[in-house]
Structure 1
Amino acid sequence: MAGRLRAPTGRYAGRSAEERQAERRRRFLDAALGLFGDAPGFRAGTVAALSEAAGLSTRQFYEEFRTLEDVLAVLHLQVNDWAERAVRSALADAEGLPLAERAAVLFRAYAANVTADPRRIRITFVEIVGVSPRLEEQRLARRARWVELICAEARAAVARGEAAPRDYRIAATAFIGSVNGLLHDWSAGWVDATLDEVTDELVRQLLGILRPRDWTP
């Protein structure tokens, strides 16, 4: 498919073309969360199956997207945006709290958001991996955004005298790998623990990075 088909313009049934287009995209993305976020996943998906699940036609699909990969790309960013908004909102509410409490707020907000729907975990930790060079670039760019969020929190903690001064980029990248792996395994039932126990462990790991034993506040 060389490009998307042109969507109809003008008002219909009291709604503008933009409103109808937004609804179609939402229905396709909602359906994709169900199809890609559960077995057998994105790689077994088809345009016909997604269109049927959305209650729309394949022609309407091509009015909104070029390929299924485009749908997965949008969905991956959407899931991450939901989680980031939850974290930033929680951090704003935690302004002024000591580092340990602030870290707990951060990870409880993140974990609660991504685990609220197991399909979100599959989209962002499993289905996006290795699809194409384009999506790998997007995945790594989105991970870099999370790295920078953690580094920004670390720099603020250093400025307050609550954390050891150092470059945290490598440590933050490694830590995010632990976060993703542990939450995925917990969601899959491979970790016998409550979500609070998982979150507490992640907080302890982060505090260990920020406050090494050989550092004195």
Structure 2
Amino acid sequence: MKVSASGASRVYGGVTGEQRIAERRRKLIEAGMNLFGSGDSSNVRVKDVVVEAGLTERYFYESFSDLGSLFEAVLEVTMDVIERDVEAAILKAPDDGLSRVSAGLRTSVEVLAADPRMIRIVFVEALGKGGRASSRRHEILVRAAQNFFRWSEAGLGDFGSGPVESRMKAFAMSGAASELLISWAEGLLDVSPEELADFLVGLYWRTNLP
């Protein structure tokens, strides 16, 4: 649904049309996080989203074409939150590969444990078999591998042209960490966030990146 330029620019109560649209979009994304991040998201409908957001259905189509596009937005917001907190932690870490990766892994697990919705959105709905965004699995794993590569050794340069052994190890860590987190998200691993983070850091150390 398109909003006319004149409609979007009108000001009511000191709030512009663009600001109102942005706020409705924010509410829809938050509603999507609640529903997609719940234990049973397979039957989520547009009607459920707008009820959760406190809006009417026409406002859903103001920002999203369908539930798939909403989930894509929810996934990006979720990953951006995780990566923002991880980058902040890495900036404070000692300047060596193990310390940076340790900070990245521990912060990732802490953020996920603090908001279980994120665990399900990323590791069940996006990366899990048959999830809403399972087609993006490879893209997400590459994104994680690039992070491992960058955290491991800042001087290795661009991921695509970096040493092949370092890239293979980064992909190995990306895949292993993702599978462990998926199993944790699905309740197959009865371990605390601290135990999971310790194992992941140890796995990195044994992999000996770069």
Q: What per-residue deviation string (whole Å, max 9, x for no partner) do you get for residues 124-145 of structure 1? A: 111125467xx45544323312
- Distance (Å, rounded) in 1 between the aligned partners of 2:150 and 2:126: 26
| CA gap 1:62/1:166 in 2 versus in 1, 3 angstroms | closer
The equivalent residue for 1:62 is 61
With structure 2 as the length reference, what TM-score do the two structures score?
Answer: 0.84
Question: Are 1:46 and 2:40 an aligned pair?
Answer: no
| CA gap 1:13/1:195 in 2 versus in 1, 3 angstroms | same
**1:110 positional shift:** 1.1
Q: What per-residue deviation string (whole Å, max 9, x for no partner) do you get for residues 143-167 of structure 1? A: 31221111123333879xxxxx762
Mean Cα deviation higher: 82-91 or 67-76? 82-91
- Distance (Å, rounded) in 1 between the aligned partners of 2:136 and 2:189: 29
Larger radius of gyration: 1
**Given that residues 104 and 203 in structure 1 are in contact (C-alpha distance below 8 angstroms), is that contact kept between their aligned partners in structure 2?**
yes
- Aligned residues: CA RMSD: 2.5
The equivalent residue for 1:181 is 179
Instruction: Report the 3-state secondary structure (helix = DSSP H, G, I; strand = E; otherwise coil) of the residue aligned with 2:15.
Output: coil
Instruction: Report the 3-state secondary structure (helix = DSSP H, G, I; strand = E; otherwise coil) of the residue aligned with 2:107.
Output: helix
Question: Are 1:29 and 2:29 an aligned pair?
Answer: yes
- Distance (Å, rounded) in 2 between the aligned partners of 1:90 and 1:127: 26
| CA gap 1:177/1:171 in 2 versus in 1, 3 angstroms | same
Consecutive unaligned residues of structure 2, counting only runs of 5 or more, are 158-162
**1:90 positional shift:** 0.8
- Distance (Å, rounded) in 1 between the aligned partners of 2:179 and 2:113: 13
The equivalent residue for 2:73 is 74
**Given that residues 33 and 119 in structure 1 are in contact (C-alpha distance below 8 angstroms), is that contact kept between their aligned partners in structure 2?**
yes
Consecutive unaligned residues of structure 1, counting only runs of 5 or more, are 160-164, 213-217
- Distance (Å, rounded) in 1 between the aligned partners of 2:34 and 2:151: 34
- Distance (Å, rounded) in 2 between the aligned partners of 1:74 and 1:55: 19
**Given that residues 28 and 50 in structure 2 are in contact (C-alpha distance below 8 angstroms), is that contact kept between their aligned partners in structure 1?**
yes
What letter matches 2:20 in structure 1?
R
| CA gap 1:126/1:187 in 2 versus in 1, 3 angstroms | closer
What letter matches 1:25 in structure 2?
R
Q: Given the alignment, which residue of 94, 105, 108 partners 1:107?
A: 105
- Distance (Å, rounded) in 1 between the aligned partners of 2:167 and 2:99: 22
- Distance (Å, rounded) in 1 between the aligned partners of 2:181 and 2:82: 13
Instruction: Report the 3-state secondary structure (helix = DSSP H, G, I; strand = E; otherwise coil) of the residue aligned with 2:27.
Output: helix
**1:26 positional shift:** 0.7
**Given that residues 5 and 59 in structure 1 are in contact (C-alpha distance below 8 angstroms), is that contact kept between their aligned partners in structure 2?**
no
The equivalent residue for 1:86 is 85
**1:118 positional shift:** 1.1
What letter matches 2:179 in structure 1?
G
| CA gap 1:158/1:27 in 2 versus in 1, 3 angstroms | closer
What letter matches 1:17 in structure 2?
G
The structure with the greater share of residues assigned to helix is 2
Mean Cα deviation higher: 99-108 or 22-31? 99-108
The alignment-based identity, stated in percent, is 30
